[in-house]
Amino acid sequence: MIILDISKRDNVIHILKLNLISLRIKEKKLQEKHAQIKLKEKEFQQNEQSNNLIDE
């Protein structure tokens, strides 16, 4: 009975580690998307500024 409990515990620990790895990968992807969005926002602002200069 104790062996089964240890095995179950090890399985739970393994699953939690896999979930943690998965969450870290998702976090990295979100950080990359966030950086891309920030870059696009900056490009948009620069385009707006250059358009304003052209209009003047």
37 occurs within a structural domain: yes
* Within a domain: 17: no
The pLDDT value given to residue 47:
92
Report pLDDT for 30: 98
- CA quadruple 24, 22, 18, 20: dihedral sign: positive
Which stretches of the chain score pLDDT less than 50?
A: none
Task: Give dist(CA 2, CA 9) in Å, integer.
Answer: 10
**Total tally of structural domains belonging to the chain:** 1
- The pLDDT assigned to 5 comes to 82
User: Residue 11 falls within a domain, yes or no?
Assistant: no
Taking the C-alpha atoms of residue 19 and residue 56, their distance in angstroms, rounded to an integer, is 55
Q: Cα(44)–Cα(26) distance, rounded to whole angstroms?
A: 27
Residue 3's pLDDT is what?
65
Range of the domain at 46: 32-56
Q: Determine the pLDDT at residue 44.
A: 95
pLDDT tens digits along 26-37: 999 999 999 999
Q: Is 19 helix (H, G, I), strand (E, B) or coil?
A: helix
